A = this chain, B = another copy of it.
Amino acid sequence: MTYPSDSNRPEFAFGARSRQSPYFDRARAAGACMYSLYNHMVMPVSYGDPMGEYDRLMNHASMWDVAAERQVQLKGPDAQKLAQMMSPRDVSKCKIGQGFYTPILNKAGGVINDPILLKLEEDLIWLSIADSDVRLYAMGLADAYDLNVEVTEPDASPLAVQGPKAEDVVADVFGEHIRDIRYFWFIQTEVQGIPVVLQRSGWSKQGGFEIYLRDGKRGADLWDLVWASGEKVVGKAWGPGAPNAIERIESGLFSWGTDFDELNNPYECGLGKWCKLDGDHDFLAKEALLRIKEEGPREALVGLHLSGAEPMPGVVKPMPITDTAGTEIGTVRASVWSPRLKKNIALARIASGESALGNTVRADVGEGFIDATVVAVPFT
């Protein structure tokens, strides 16, 4: 028995288990050609022109199908109580119309997700999540504590507009008043009868908005509207995009599931600043965090400059890092050639003792171990 060589491009399998977003057909028609699965939903990750997509995000604006950024809806009198159990921030301080970035922690202090919490009403909260079924953790708590809250996945599908001209595009769609929306705040509105939540947010540091479509049947309509405004405002430089591997690494946007996960506590992945241990609010992980903070983190999420002047392909799995004596001390989680820095850069998890800025380590990113230097993120 013989088989084709592994030089084939791996094909993405579609099927009912891999849910299609409301924008699926439009994104495909616009050239989406590489996909991942995220929160059980098909997510375009490339339109076949990586440098063009990077350029649009850095210098113009682009539109992203990020419907796979699903929501966990907590609805009912105990919604805020349930959210507070899982969050180290004081959720009572979040106002209606405001978003709070927050780690979601289990009782042991493990980070099971890092969503933006949106407070839509006193008794209606969304968690706009990374790629884990945090809904099931919330449901377990609600079932066990017999809380008066429904934990569901609502019909809400974000379409992102990101880049320096994103605000102009979104203003063309919704009106000039959207320029007053502050970072992570949102409004509930509609455009041409399409109900949406419009938030100043998005998974880049280039600015922009996320438009949470609240009627999955209107995906093509919303896409077309935003697309038309993009062409009008940005012109030929307008186009589709996706969460961008280059930009997010350059900007030091850590990714749950890629860079860190539930085996990490918040102090190991840059989330310590969101953990308020001396507030009036209580949460399940408080006791664990007090102990962990005392003990100090075992590892740190850091940036690396990789040696060598030639672009190298990004890693596709965690790759080993050693100290200069050859002892394993961590893993590279993501790497990329930075057009801005003209360097290969990486995000890595390494033992705390090796995480000082300027420290030299050895990293294998696919072609044997090479020198690497610990640097600050965002990369400058």
Interface set of A (CB-CB < 8 Å, partner B): 1, 3-4, 6, 8-20, 28-37, 40, 45-49, 106-107, 112, 131-134, 136-141, 143-145, 236-240, 245, 255, 257-259, 284, 314-318, 333-334
Contact = CB atoms under 8 A, between A and B. Distances in A.
B140 A20 contact: no
Contact of A11 (B9, B112, B314, B333): B9
Contacts of A14: 10, 316-317
B40 A11 contact: no
Nearest to A236: B1
9 contacts: A4-B31, A11-B34, A13-B46, A15-B317, A18-B36, A106-B139, A136-B140, A137-B139, A140-B141
Contacts of A143: 106-107, 140-141, 284
A134 B245 CA distance: 29
A37 B36 contact: yes
A31 B3 CA distance: 5
B48 A36 contact: no
A259 to B, nearest CB: 8
Contacts of A12: 10-13, 34-36
A112 to B, nearest CB: 6
A143 B137 CA distance: 10
B258 A16 contact: yes
B48 A35 contact: no
Contacts of A141: 140, 143-144
